[in-house]
């Protein structure tokens, strides 16, 4: 604890700034960069300083509000009853202190409590009037939240109308979540589409609820668990424990399990029982919530500015286990990058058996001093992705081996290279079997040629049977060849061949992206398809012309030029031509151009409520172009939150800048 007020004031200012940044990343961007424990540590430190020096408390301090500003692009809803957040702790001693404080405030009284799972999702509030769903909102700043009614209506577990005898007004609170299996599937789809993966189910749920298009939210396996109420009219409840039966009666999903308790020992026993069960729930849980049962006792205990005095959240430590690192394996990607993966003595982490974990790259292994044979600590990042997070160096016996990246590719035996100033090590053999598999997977992915049925397992079979040597062989597959493969009946064969045939009509930009040219992503592929009338013109273009195209530039332009000077690639292109793929750029239908968009060039930057690719499609459909970099030729910059350097450059050049609200008005 700081004893000098001037020193404390400086630290408090720093903590407020840190917490405000973390709040924004968590509540608005759904992209947290700070662990819950570190955030809670900073918050508690700020509380301690303001307790010691009350004069340092400011109206905008995070301790004086709930946090999380509503997104400006959504309509706003004022909560009938404020949505306060809970104080939380990682310490059983602090849970004990919490209960003893209540005993001092309610002397000579039994204080029954309820213990429930703390669902790791997004807090939501739904209002029903006469049993009909009127609106749904996020927590927002605790007083005002975002109107997410259309997206909440897409969740099948949410009734549009309550069952049975309904209250006149029923405001119910809960957590929207993405179930574990659905999260894994969604990330696999995003990976195949070349999109960034979500860090954890909570972020995925937040991103889903912030979609302006409810059709996108409807495609995601969202669920909801209700655990509390706001305003209620037409029905009386005396205890929180009565709520569970009422929720079920009304057709609202609620907690899987809950425990009654009226002593510290019973509370701690319930916390431990929940910890043993929680990994079996379909949703992520990160703690236990302890709430006073009787509403009359809650009224006596009251609230602080931020939280109720009658409830607390106990958060479990991220499960960390020890196991033996048996080996470090190498995976080879489609561009030849070698990625180290930990082969572990199988161990249960977070309720599932783990035998592999990420090690990221050679530099990360050196930084952690990870050695083959070590006992290592393994955690699930976001309780989803296993990762090696530490080493028991005290248990070393001298037999452990330092890891070194191989000098040759483990798949094909070719030399590997590490470019200057690059972390990545790359196999130089473009015909490496691992690269072949990954390139075909990329070509067939949803973000490229979108060939359903040509996933990782099928590609591995086809390559192993020497039916596929490169992406050109995809269009030579036939029923007779496929019939020899495992689990390929007539219907599966017909579906795959139909998907392959359908891919021939994909637009040119998808083909360019699907070719897997080094450094060429979706934005560059679109820019190239917009610039050239067909693939032949692109192939014949000079390095200088390529480098002048927005979203291409010096490095990408040289990479494209080199790709089309390689004889093997030229032969591949001719095979694709003979197969009947579309080589011509799409002609934009006349009459779709809109004022404010025709013949304009846009740059999209910052955090927006919709994926940038989707917004880019909207602009292109109205006659505009989309670029990745700001220049004097840029017409408009669409700037979301935390826009950064592109926004600053637009200001310097005097380029017109629109926020998302202004952009939506222009669309209208």
Active site residues: 118
DSSP line for 595-611 = TTTTT-EEEEESB-SS-
Report the C-alpha gap between 432 and 444 in whole angstroms: 18
Task: Tell me the helices (H) and strands (E) count for the chain, helix number first.
Answer: 24, 24
Taking the C-alpha atoms of residue 374 and residue 324, their distance in angstroms, rounded to an integer, is 6
CA dist 149 and 133 (Å) reads 9
* CB neighbour list of residue 155: distance below 8 Å, 6 or more residues apart: 176, 222, 223, 224
Residue 224's SS3 state is: strand
Euclidean distance between CA atoms 538 and 512, whole angstroms: 10
Q: What region does 570 belong to: left with phi over 0, alpha with psi -120 to 50, or beta?
A: alpha
Which tokens belong to 574? 């001719």
- The SS3 of residue 340 is strand
Burial class of 330 by CB neighbour count within 10 A (0 to 12, 13 to 18, 19+): middle
Backbone region of residue 596 per phi and psi (left: phi > 0; alpha: psi in -120 to 50; beta: other values): left
Would you say 328 and 342 are in contact if contact means Cβ atoms under 8 Å apart? yes
- For residue 87 the two structure tokens come to 């104080």
C-alpha–C-alpha distance, residues 256 and 278, integer Å: 9
CA atoms within 13 A on the CB side of 582: 19
Q: CA angle at residue 589 from 584 to 594, to 5 degrees?
A: 130
**Residue with token string 């002397």:** 107
Could you tell me whether strands 375-381 and 338-349 are parallel, antiparallel, or unpaired per DSSP bridges?
Answer: unpaired
H or E segment to which residue 259 belongs: strand 259-261
Of the candidates 98, 534, 143, 122, the one whose C-alpha atom is nearest the C-alpha of residue 290 is 98
Cα 404 from Cα 161, distance rounded (Å): 62
For 225, the token pair is 């668990």
Name which of 485, 432, 494 is nearest 462 in CA terms: 485
Largest interatomic CA distance in the chain = 88
The DSSP code sequence of 447-510 is TTT--TT--HHHHHHHHHTTS-SSGGGGGG--HHHHTTSTT--HHHHHHHHHHHHHHTTS-HHH
- Is residue 247 within a helix (H) or strand (E), and if so which, with residue range? helix 241-250
Q: How far apart are CA 352 and CA 349, in angstroms?
A: 6
Cβ 165 vs Cβ 347: under 8 Å: no
């Amino acid at each position: 604890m700081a004893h000098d007020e001037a020193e404390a004031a400086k630290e408090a200012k720093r903590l407020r700034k840190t917490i405000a940044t973390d709040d924004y990343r968590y509540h608005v961007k759904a992209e947290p960069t700070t662990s819950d424990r570190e955030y809670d540590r900073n918050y508690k430190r700020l509380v301690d300083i303001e307790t010691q020096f009350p004069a340092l408390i400011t109206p905008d301090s995070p301790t004086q509000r709930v946090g999380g500003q509503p997104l400006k692009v959504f309509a706003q809803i004022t909560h009938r009853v404020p949505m306060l957040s809970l104080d939380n702790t990682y310490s059983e001693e602090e849970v004990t202190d919490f209960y003893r404080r209540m005993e001092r405030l309610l002397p000579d009284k039994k204080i029954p409590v309820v213990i429930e799972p703390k669902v790791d999702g997004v807090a939501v509030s739904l209002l029903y009037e006469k049993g009909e769903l009127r609106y749904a909102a996020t927590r927002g700043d605790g007083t005002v939240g975002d109107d997410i009614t259309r997206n909440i209506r897409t969740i099948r577990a949410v009734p549009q109308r309550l069952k049975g005898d309904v209250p006149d007004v029923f405001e119910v609170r809960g957590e929207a979540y993405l179930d574990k299996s659905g999260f894994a599937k969604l990330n696999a789809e995003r990976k195949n589409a070349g999109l960034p993966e979500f860090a954890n189910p909570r972020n995925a749920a937040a991103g889903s609820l912030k979609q302006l298009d409810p059709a996108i939210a409807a495609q995601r396996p969202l669920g909801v668990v209700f655990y509390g109420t706001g305003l209620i009219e037409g029905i009386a409840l005396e205890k929180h424990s009565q709520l569970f039966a009422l929720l079920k009666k009304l057709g609202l999903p609620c907690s899987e399990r809950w425990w009654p308790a009226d002593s510290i020992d019973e509370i701690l026993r319930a916390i431990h029982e929940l910890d043993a069960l929680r990994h079996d729930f379909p949703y992520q849980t990160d703690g236990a919530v302890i709430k006073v049962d009787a509403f009359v006792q809650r009224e006596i205990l009251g609230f602080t500015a931020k939280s109720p005095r009658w409830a607390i959240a106990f958060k479990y430590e991220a499960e960390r286990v020890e196991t033996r690192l048996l080996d470090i394996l190498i995976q080879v990607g489609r561009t030849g990058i070698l990625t180290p993966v930990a082969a572990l003595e199988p161990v249960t982490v977070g309720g599932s058996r783990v035998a592999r974990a990420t090690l990221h790259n050679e530099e990360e292994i050196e930084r952690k001093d990870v050695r083959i044979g070590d006992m290592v600590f393994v955690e699930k990042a976001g309780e989803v992705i296993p990762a090696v997070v530490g080493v028991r160096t005290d248990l070393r016996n001298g037999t452990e081996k330092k890891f070194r990246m191989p000098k040759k590719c483990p798949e094909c035996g070719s030399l590997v290279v590490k470019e200057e100033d690059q972390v990545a090590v790359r196999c130089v053999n473009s015909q490496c079997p691992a690269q072949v598999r990954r390139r075909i997977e990329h070509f067939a992915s949803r973000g490229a040629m979108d060939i359903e049925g040509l996933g990782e397992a099928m590609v591995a079979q086809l390559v192993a049977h020497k039916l596929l040597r490169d992406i050109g062989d995809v269009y030579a597959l036939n029923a007779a060849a496929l019939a020899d493969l495992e689990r390929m009946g007539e219907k599966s064969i017909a579906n795959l061949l139909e998907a392959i045939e359908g891919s021939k009509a994909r637009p040119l930009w998808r083909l360019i992206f699907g070719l897997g040219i080094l450094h060429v992503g979706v934005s560059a592929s679109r820019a190239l398809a917009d610039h050239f009338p067909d693939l032949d013109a692109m192939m014949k273009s000079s390095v200088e012309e390529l480098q002048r195209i927005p979203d291409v530039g010096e490095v990408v332009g040289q990479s494209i030029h080199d790709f089309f000077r390689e004889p093997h690639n030229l032969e591949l292109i001719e095979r694709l031509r003979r197969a009947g793929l579309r080589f011509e750029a799409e002609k934009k239908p006349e009459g779709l151009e809109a004022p404010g968009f025709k013949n304009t060039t846009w740059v999209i930057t910052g955090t927006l409520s919709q994926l940038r690719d989707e917004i880019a499609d909207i602009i292109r459909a109205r006659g505009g172009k989309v670029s990745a970099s700001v220049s004097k030729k840029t017409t408009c910059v669409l700037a979301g939150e935390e826009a950064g350097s592109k926004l600053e450059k637009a200001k310097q050049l005097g380029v017109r800048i629109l926020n998302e609200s202004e952009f939506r008005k222009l669309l209208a």
